Amino acid sequence: MTKNMEETKTAKNRREKRGGLLAALIPAALLFLGCVCGAVFFLPKGATKTMAGAGTEITDFHTDLLGENVYLFRETDDHEAIQRTVDELYDRLETDQFGRTRVALCFFPGDYSDVTVPVGFYTQVLGLGAYPTDVKLGALVCTATWLGDEYNHNATQNFWRSVENVEICSGTVWAVSQATDMRRVQIDGALHLHDDYGWASGGFLADSRILTMVDSGSQQQWLSRNNQYRTWVDDNWNIVLVGDEPGGLPVGTWPVKSYTVVDAAPAVQDKPLLLWTDPADPGDMGIMIPARREDATGISWSHGKHLDTSEAGWSPEEVKTYGRTLSEEVLTDLSLFPQELGRISGMDAWYVAKPEADDAASITAALAQGKNILFTPGVYDLAEPIRAEGSQVLLGLGLATLRAVAGNVCLETAGDDLMLAGLLFDAGPAAVSESGETQVSPNLLHVGAGKNVTLNDLYFRVGGTPTDRPARAERCITIDADGVIGENLWVWRADHGDQVAWDKNVTENGIVINGNDALMYALMVEHFHHYQTVWNGENGRLYMYQSEVPYDVPAGEDWTSRNGTRAGYASLYVDDAVTKWHGEGLGIYLYNRDATALLESAVELPDTPGVDAHHTITVLLTANPGMHHVINSSGAAVMRPGEEAILLDYCNKESR
């Protein structure tokens, strides 16, 4: 959800406000907690040490291997220089919503507790240690006053940013919306998912330990998967907690509280991570491929140490020692990486792509040679598809962006056990052929024949970026493979920015799932012309769905489905032939900004015993009416601004 507002603050004022906020947060957090000294112990050999790579000498925070958009910070570097660098990048990127700059801020194992990292657009903060507690940051913050004035705190456009694999030695404000991730972190205080209760529309948190509370505040919705915290406070419309440790789970459920609790995550394949534990040894650089987990509860990296929430409070001694393992040593040799956490893929198995040097042909050629692909940060303008046909990993750093520039697909896959992670897919301007015909991308990503493909932190965009012609795509992603696990996907037809209008950034659907046995966590799809999500495959499962139907329908008669017999297009359409499907925590929102455009049902499900939905909410945000039903012909209408309708359960025409 977005609210367009004029920027009114200077970079200097923003920095002063940020400093004031941190001055308030850090002393209290440190007084209570200190900087928790999580540690790592040596384990039996579980991985092959990577081979030394060329171009790994660090000069001015960069290496030739990873390029100028990857910043590498060492504990021995001048910390004031590190602070200046991250502040300068933030001043450039705080408001750069549709720019082309992409950066990854990577920290070698060490103590950076005197460094504060503000996180702007297209910024990834990444710890390079084997465990989150190997990299200690003093503070990390994402605030939200840039979109309006200092009293607004509107985070509804805080997209496209990431933090992974670090310890944050203070309380943290992470006021974000869609297309953001926080993974594998430890926060030595509270995590606030809003900026002073301003609007926020997130979000995703996974495999993380929060030593006190998670405060979701004004967040409209959130997906929390396999996390550990002492307590969770506040709720708004749709908070879904999957596989979180039970001791800290909030009390209450629908309709009084908007919490949906799922005891365990049915299957998890976490996102790969770049690790480089010793800056003096290129051989200790590699990609961690996390182990797959089934029926997972809690974090993956605790060595069996769990958060004790049995007592009302902790003593200072408990706070200081919590998180320690058998020694204070940091793992500096990746050959000792524990097998139960995953495996290390050495850099000799990877092709490091750079936006200034690579195109679809060079990347496809590397894939054909059996290489995995590490996309360094930047925008890759592609005139033809990248083709991945093996069991490989394609991992983006710093929100690396694949952009179609000739009405083409960005990435075509056909293989088993493929992993795609950390990429933004962008529809470039619609191409015009020599005969004058408009060429429109049929998909930005096509996950073709295969099975057991995993999709982590993938984002899709049609429109908004400055172009001479409107961006267009028929759909953003089509999945034909079976057994796909996807998590944290934001599929977005832009509702603001350049070349945005009903007849400009024209689309059909956001995502089409044809494969069987698809499992989705945190699927967010917005503003497409027809159905936002089409689910044709059998035995699908969906945990947390967020969607807005289009804002800009010009008139109700222009927006009808089923051959003109039904008002509007449901956000989520499960095909009539499907016999087994399950969804939990579904939120669909309506904002008819430009006209009255009635919608018959927010969700359409086949009426059969094997298809059901648990906890579904619809809201008319503001503007014109309206929506008749929640699922099929069940559920109340929403016709007035702010009106909500809820179904606790729906299956085979039965609802409550």
Rg, C-alpha atoms of the chain: 23
Confirm whether 16 is a catalytic residue.
Answer: no
Out of 164, 167, 548, 584, pick the active-site residue. Answer: 548
Tokens of 648: 């606790």
Nearest to 526 by CA among 496, 494, 556, 497: 494
Q: What is the bridge-based pairing of β-strands 350-353 and 372-375? A: parallel
User: Is the N-terminal amide bond of 255 cis, ω within 30° of 0?
Assistant: yes
Dist CA 316 CA 396 (whole Å)? 40
Query: Angle, nearest 10°, between helix axes 11-33 and 79-93?
Result: 130
Tokens of 380: 């890759």
Nearest to 542 by CA among 477, 613, 493: 613
User: Is the N-terminal amide bond of 27 cis, ω within 30° of 0?
Assistant: no
Dist CA 286 CA 299 (whole Å)? 22
Q: What is the bridge-based pairing of β-strands 475-479 and 509-513? A: parallel
What are the CA-CA distances from residue 350 to residues 277, 422, 533 (Å)? 18, 16, 34
Dist CA 535 CA 8 (whole Å)? 43
Residue at token pair 């507002």: 5
Beta bridge partners of 127: 107
Residue at token pair 């603001």: 496
Dist CA 169 CA 114 (whole Å)? 10
Catalytic residues: 548
